[in-house]
């Protein structure tokens, strides 16, 4: 069995299946991401970085969902 790296032992990773904190406000960060990600996405596509472009597109979709669900 592999021994965990020091960072894996000292800082637990965030779990995606656990709901985010109720009091946290992610809308401002999501709006900033919506403003910045399209330019990054265009540059990644122009450079031929397909995987990066796909991940940036997913991040943009997630940010748009956060803003859409905001009260």
User: What is the secondary structure of 8-66 as a DSSP string?
Assistant: HHHSPPPPTTSPPPTT---HHHHHHHHHHHHHHHHHHHHHT-HHHHHHHHHHHHHHHHH
pLDDT band at 25 (very low <50, low <70, confident <90, very high): confident
Q: Which of 70, 68, 63 is nearest to 29 (CA)?
A: 63
- Which carries the bigger pLDDT value, residue 3 or residue 42? 42
Look at residue 23 and tell me whether its pLDDT is greater than 90: no
Query: pLDDT tens, 42-66?
Result: 999 999 999 999 999 999 999 999 9
The model carries a pTM of 0.64
């Amino acid at each position: 069995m592999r021994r965990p790296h020091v960072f894996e032992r000292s800082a637990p990773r965030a779990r995606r299946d656990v709901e985010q904190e109720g009091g946290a406000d992610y809308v401002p960060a999501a709006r900033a991401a919506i403003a910045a990600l399209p330019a990054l996405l265009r540059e990644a596509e122009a450079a031929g970085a397909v995987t990066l472009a796909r991940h940036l597109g997913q991040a943009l979709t997630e940010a748009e969902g956060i803003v859409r669900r905001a009260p």
